[in-house]
Amino acid sequence: MRDPLMVATAGRLSVACQIIHVEHCPDRTWVDLVTLEPCDRQVYRLPAGAPLALGFDCPPGNDFQAELEAVMSYWEESGAVLDLTVVELPDGLSYRFSCGDEHLAVLVGRTD
């Protein structure tokens, strides 16, 4: 998976955002977000309103993809404001989406 937020080179990321589109592909789910506040990174600064595209690879026939898309689509349709936290782990990245008492964690292994 690509690291569009450059977490691997810039450390932890935490930002409020909103889902603007969830797209299903046979082996991947794309989640398009927009930031609702500025976010400082070591490499650059994301302004409020910055678009982000996250691609989560999903092997065919895996139940994870259906669950991911159901939760993301629910948040998209309800216009939910999410807190996104991304943390670099020894073997990959942890994406944690929170909306009130609802949470979704996605662990992504390294591909490099």
In angstroms, how far is CA 55 from the centroid of its own chain? Answer: 8
Confidence at 95, pLDDT banded by 50, 70, 90 = very high
Q: What is the pTM of this model?
A: 0.81
53 falls within a domain = yes
70 falls within a domain = yes
pLDDT tens-digit readout, 46-88: 889 988 888 888 877 778 888 999 999 999 999 999 999 988 8
Q: What is the rounded average pLDDT of the residues 16-44? A: 87
91 falls within a domain = yes
Specify the higher pLDDT residue, 78 or 8.
78
Confidence at 7, pLDDT banded by 50, 70, 90 = very low
1 falls within a domain = no
90 falls within a domain = yes
2 falls within a domain = no
Q: Whole domain around residue 17: which residue ranges?
A: 7-109
Confidence at 9, pLDDT banded by 50, 70, 90 = very low
For 63, 78, 107, 109, the CA distances from 86, given in Å and listed in that order, are 23, 23, 10, 13
Under DSSP, is residue 43 helix (H, G, I), strand (E, B) or coil? coil
Helix (H) or strand (E) holding 23: strand 13-25
Tell me how many domains the chain contains: 1
85 falls within a domain = yes
Task: Look at residue 42 in the predicted model and tell me its pLDDT.
Answer: 58
The chain-wide mean pLDDT, for the chain, equals: 83
pLDDT tens-digit readout, 32-47: 999 999 987 656 678 8
